[in-house]
Every structure is written in C-alpha cells, then in structure tokens.
Amino acid sequence: MADSSAAAAAHHAPSGEVTKRDLLQLIAVAGAAIGAGAIAWPLIDSMNPSKDVLALSSVEVDLTPVTEGQGITIVWQGKPIFVRHRTAAEIKEAQDVKLSDLIEPQADSARVKAGHDQWIVLIGICTHLGCVPLGNKPSDPRGEWGGWFCPCHGSQYDTSGRVRHGPAPANLALPPYAFESDTKIKVG
C-alpha cells in the first residue's frame, strides 16, 4: 500500500478480515454516535417542563374558609378546579338520582372521596367545547339541577358535576386529589 493514489481504495483490508484499523474505526464511529446522543439529550430535555412549572404541578387547598353551600375556584396546572362544599340536601339529591336518568351514568359515591361526601372537586371545564361553567358562587346561575350551568351552549350539571342536559356529552372530569387532613386537599 505504498502508492498514495491507491490509498483511498485501500482503506479496507483486501482480504476482508477485521484489521486493527477497522476495529479502531468501529470504536470511533460508535463513540461519535454515543456523543451525538449525549448532545441531543440536554437539548430535548430542555423542552420538558422546567422546575418552576413542575413546582406548580400540585397545589394544596385549605378548605376551612369554604362554608356550606359555597364553592371556590383554584387554578391547577393552568385549569380551573371547582371545590364545592355541598349542603346535606345537595348530597342527598346527588345520591338519590336514578342512574338510568343520567347521560353518563355514574354514582355520586364514585365521584367523591369516601367519608368526605360534602366535598366535590371537579375540573371546571365543560365537556362540550371547553368553556368554564357558572355556578361555583351562590350568586351564579346553577341550572335546573342546582350544580353548574355552562353559559356557552346551555349544558347543565348536577351537584355531583354530572351532565344532566346537553349538549355536553360527559360529566365534568375529576382531577387527581387526596385529603391530607379533613380540611386540606392536595390536587395533583
């Protein structure tokens, strides 16, 4: 392989066996691939939620100031969350309704945490086209079933957040949450 003009063609061993050069090349190419991957990861990861966004991925809500019949709206991950303190009559109404009367049948017990029947926690986004329903404040219109009323297209929800009158196709969604104590929940 003394002739320089032949050198280009000769960078593979003529017999096809693995030479030291081939091995070195293999390591170099593999190393370059690993390097490229290592460079790509920080770039991709920088697009994931940053620490300040993650810090707000769960919120704690103190329930003490919410009196019976009242509701509050908090923001969780950019979405309105309805927290409502239901009266005994509202709870009874929500529990007694026949499931066959519902558009999306679901028992009230499946929508509250056991032992905390008076608290209903909902994602406040109408399942029709994403408006925020009214009814969280006592002064708001609450619709025929005493829950929430969507001003955009007239959908109505009962005190369990279940849709009772279209056009919304489904019940108000439930956020993931847990009771940290009797008067404190953690959403998210």
67 binds another protein (CB under 8 A): no
Q: For another protein, what does the binding mask look like between residues 24 and 53, x meaning CB under 8 A?
A: xx-xx--xx-xx--x---xx-xxxx-xxx-
Q: Is 128 a catalytic residue?
A: no
CB of 4 to another protein, least distance (A): 5
DSSP state string for the chain: ---HHHHTGGGS-TT----HHHHHHHHHHHHHHHHHHHHHHHHHHTTSPPHHHHHTSSEEEE-TT--TT-EEEEEETTEEEEEEE--HHHHHHHHHS-GGG-SS---GGGTS-TT-TTEEEEE---TTTS---B-SSTTS--TTTEEEE-TTT--EEETTS-EEESS--SPPPPPPEEEEETTEEEE-
21 binds another protein (CB under 8 A): yes
17 binds another protein (CB under 8 A): no
Contact with another protein (CB under 8 A): which of 13, 33, 60, 88?
60
Q: Which stretch binds another protein (CB under 8 A): 7-15, 76-84, 86-94, 116-124?
A: 7-15
Which spans of this chain sit near another protein (rule: CB under 8 A)?
Answer: 1-2, 4-8, 10-11, 20-21, 24-25, 27-28, 31-32, 34-35, 38, 42-43, 45-48, 50-52, 55-56, 60
